[in-house]
Structure formats: C-alpha cells, structure tokens
Structure 1
C-alpha cells in the first residue's frame, strides 16, 4: 500500500514537470537544473517538517494552542449569543441541521 502511494506521488511529480515542459515557450531550453533543485528543496522541506521530532512537536503545540483558542471562542459565542452561537437550544430540535448558523459555527 505504501509503495502504491509513493508511486502515485512520483507519477504526480512527473506529470507536473511534464505539464511545465509542455507549456514552456522554448522546450529545448527547459531549465532542468532549477526544476530538480526546487524539487529537492521541496522534498527536503517535507522530510524536515514531518520527520524531525522537534519540529513536529512545535506544530503539535501550535495545533493545541489553536484548538484552545477555537474552544474559547466557541464558549464565548455561546455565552454571548446562546443557542445561535452553539449553546444549548431552549426548545426541542427536530432537524439539527436547521440550527446551523454560518456566522458562528462555520469552520473547516
């Protein structure tokens, strides 16, 4: 399974470089060296950000901080705006999707 994911990723890289070559104005002067250097930088950055424990721990701490901020803002909006901000509704809800208010509860 991992080998197929790697193969799919490599095919995507080759496809993007191929599209760049096809859309270039002068295909004979296609800058291979800068493309390979940029690709090596991207791979190095990906390895650095996903495999170095100190960096992944820093991203984990930042994620924890953002989760705390999101929970605090959800709590504050439900305190300020009641059920419109995500708090308990003072009535029985027949359709839970009908109580969704994008301005307060919309998130990714």
Structure 2
C-alpha cells in the first residue's frame, strides 16, 4: 500500500541526489552508477530482510545471539573486575549515574567482538561473507576490488 510517507521518502532521496549533483565539482562525471547502485542495494536489502516471511525471525535470532554475547561478556567482566564492571557494590550508592566505568563495561565487549571477528576471519567464514558483499558492490555500483572490499569490511566494523 502506497502512503504519503513513502512519497516523502522518495522525494527526499531524489532531493539528496539532486543536491549532491548540483554541488559536485564536475557534474558531467557525477557517479550516477554508484549513487543509484547504492540506493538499489539498500532497497534490495530492505525487501530481502523485511519482505521474506522468515527474515524477521532470522533477524530476531541474530539479535538474541548478540544480546546473549553481550550478557555473557558482562557476566565475565563482573567476575573479573567485580563491582567496577557493574557487579554488586560494596558500599552504599549515592550517585547511581557514577557507577558506569567505560573501561570495565564497554571495552570487554569490544575485545570479545574483536576476538570473535579474528576467529571467524581465521576460519575464513568472514572472508567469504566479505567477498560476497564485495562482489555485490562491484556489480551493482561499479566499485573496484579494493574499495568494494573496504565497504564490505566496514559493514562488520
């Protein structure tokens, strides 16, 4: 069903492209294939992720896995660092906002995700996924091998 909000989004996309074209240094060499290819890939991903019947269940399962990883990391950090990582406080808390310590509550999750990424790269799982995205970006947007690989790798960062 087409609603007014959809038209507003389409006008916004067209206006953004028009402003980018108008502000470009050389309008004759504007990368239309790259711009329209990027929009095409986004639309295709939205249709793929939200249009397929089982896609939302897959996304929810992925989200539950990431939440489980974050919860396990938080429990491990609390085991190692105790109250500084959000465990039980050994004293009366007068300022609950002051309990957040970035180094003990955020950095452990970053380290776990980095180690998991390195392991998946070593097992060549992440390489195949990155190559797949790179292939899609190369075919749809005309990106070269190195820039397509960089864009695909940045998705995981």
TM-score range, shorter chain: 0.7 to 0.9
Larger relative contact order (Cα-Cα within 8 Å, sequence gap ≥ 6): 2
Write out aligned runs for 1:15-30 (5 A).
15-24=15-24, 25-27=26-28
CA-atom RMSD in angstroms = 2.6
The superposition leaves residues 24-47 of structure 1 with CA deviations (integer Å, 9 ceiling, x where unpaired) of 3135x7676x35555344322211
Matched, 1:13 2:13: yes
Q: 1:81 to 1:21 in 2, by over 3 A?
A: same
Write out aligned runs for 1:17-96 (5 A).
17-24=17-24, 25-27=26-28, 34=33, 35-36=35-36, 38-96=38-96
Structure 1: runs of 5+ lacking an equivalent: none
Cα offset, 1:6, TM superposition: 2.0
Structure 2: runs of 5+ lacking an equivalent: 110-157
Q: 1:26 to 1:92 in 2, by over 3 A?
A: same
Larger radius of gyration: 1
